[in-house]
Structure 1
Amino acid sequence: MAGKRILLIIGGGIAAYKSLELIRELRRGGASVTPVLTKGGTEFITPLSASALSESKAYTHLFDLTDEAEMGHIQLSRSADLLVVCPATADLLAKMAAGMADDLATTLLLATDTPVLAAPAMNVRMWQHPATQANVALLRQRGVTVLEPDVGPMACGEFGPGRLPEVTAIAAAIGAQFADGPLKGRHILVTAGPTHEPIDPVRYIANRSSGKQGFALAAALAALGARVTLVAGPVNLPTPPGVTRIDIETAREMAAAVEAALPADAAILVAAVADWAVAPRTSKIKKGASGPPKLELSENPDILAGLARHPRRPKLVVGFAAETDDVIPNAQAKLAKKGVDLIVANDVSGEVMGGDRNLVHLVTASGVQSLPETTKANVARQLAARIAELLA
């Protein structure tokens, strides 16, 4: 981040005090920081504190006659290399999504063509509210990097997602925005993990996918400079630095999230999506004398094939094939049937699925390249390099 100029917009939430720590972390990395406090932000920290730590003037008002004589808000928004909103409250996210400009912070956000990163912090119910989730989805679709909040206890006494991410994680995500590599400027969509298809309120159909390979790939792509959107099934894995994560549960939710993430330069669908869904019961199925229940199955959407035929098809579409028999022939058949550019095939007949190592074969129309068995992190780095070559 050395030499980079960060415009830091501080929203009105209890987590605003952590923005002071973020200023120090960014300056340690060599960046210059210009603070902008919303009216709510000044209720939690003072402009003097932000100014002292940043060694820069802290801005608070849109109609400052001295600065506005030369349209200072335009100058502020366009002189920065990155706009960071921390904490991004539910109100700020809503205003960003609606295109409002009723104070200095929102005017800066609307007047800029500079990349924007938002670190949300709010009550768990506010974060999970459909309005907030819709706003976040819209902002991500427009190219704003919205980090996932942390899960934990909150100042209000509740527990769940909504805590501001750790300052070191925010700083790492900011650093990733400036990563210079062969994928810089590319948007890549990755899916990872299993899907859960509910049977009743307490049971579901799933598979053994851990999500480790998809998460490792998302991290490797971000390290090469890509803007990565990771659509993740139910897994207990930390979000890679600089990656935008969207959590889903079912195959249909994953299909909708993939659609919302378009356009993308490439899509790598690593997730082990359930082929079938169950018509879920509203009450728990009880064990009875009549024997096991009969489950009514319906076919889930084919996300990979649908993306390959999509009007906004990414330039490169990559699928994964976990096979127990005839690994390469089955992968070649899948390549032709789905209409994709590359299939990454691996043998899961042993104890591979869910582990930390992988042996994969890269199957294209021109042939097969088998990689030696190694860690999933190494597989991810090799695959990310191959994707960079194909996009180039």
Structure 2
Amino acid sequence: MPTGPALTPGLFPRSIKAGTGHVVVGPMQDSSMWLPDRHSDTAQQSAGFHRLFDILSDQGYLLLRGLLSPTKVAAARARITDHLDQSGFLKPGAPKDEAAIDMDRYRSDMLRPGLLERQELAHQEPLLDLFEDPRLYWLFQGLYLAWDSVARSEREGPEQIYPDPKRRRLDLVSEQEPFEDNRAAQRDASPGSDNVNDSDSDDDADEECDDDDDDNGGGERDDDDDADGDGEDNGSCRAPCGPSADISTEPRWGIKTLPFKWLRAVGPDLFTGPHLDRVYLSSRSPRLLTAWIPLGAIAIEMGSLMVVPGSNSSPQFHPLRTNYGASSVGKDGTASGWIASDPNEIEGKTGLPQDTVQWLGADYQPGDVCIIGLDVLHMTSTNTTDRWRISCDTRWFPAGDPSPF
């Protein structure tokens, strides 16, 4: 099954448009080599997940190539492009899978799909099967068990980091615990409606921004993209969204994922400005992690995720984390959430030393996933193509932690 136009990866570092400026972006490091075989014994899985957790703690992100099935990605993408085509958001006559845009209409009508408001679409089977894939539960279970183990080691000594499986068996999925997807039995049979609302919300806090229409560099907000989560707004969305509001909050393997899915179709000239997720997402769940899932091949020129490695942990970024990172933003987008529309202005606005902010990015293939924490500085590059960039953010946390909202 097609997964979008073929992608020929470019070379890094390379200069790209990001926000209202241009930056040189280096390559993200692929951490998938540290993913353990899910059928390996507990000690091997523990060692692999501890290494991944070390990288996440130090760098603030994990790029995991091929974590998910490209076939599942293709099925989810096909459902979305069908929706976009039926709703008049694709270029007539072009292959649907390319998600090409009628640029004349896009420029004149300010065409926006508003997928964040289509939670009934995000909860249909091809999409939810991807967004709540058992491999994601397995991944986050392993990461959080490693997190717990490291926390114990700080209290009880380093021998707790790699426990002897004969003394203490970690609750990881193994050959004796196969991946069983039991969500279908919990899910309401109704697929939900697929109505299109041409009036998208203006309540965006983590918005994609059209810089062509704003002389101040803030740009016009893309009504497709809602907040990374200020709690109040998304809370009102979550209750009626999807076949059942409780599906995704049922813990599996000790892990929960928020039922709200940040599904996006981002058009040309749009981007998400630089920010930390902590300012949008409640600190009640300090271990909340995000999985950024591209639905198709997404080159960095299409508006893919970029990060500043180490911004979550380096002492150089301590002022950013303690000042801006301690704020809680409202619903007025750039003014209260993004640090700047031009990433080149970050150091001047935050007092960071010059050349502190160094961006990394990637050309994503179907099945790739990027995991980020609450405190890593990130943004998306600007979509400079004539196609919709289709992606989804899903949020995860241990079942024993407070809900973020």
Same fold, judged at TM 0.5 (above) = no
TM-score range, shorter chain: under 0.3
TM-score (norm 1): 0.23
The one of the two structures with greater contact order (alpha-carbon pairs below 8 A, sep at least 6) is 2
- Whose Rg is larger? 1
**Normalising by the residue count of structure 2, what TM-score does the alignment of the two structures yield?**
0.22
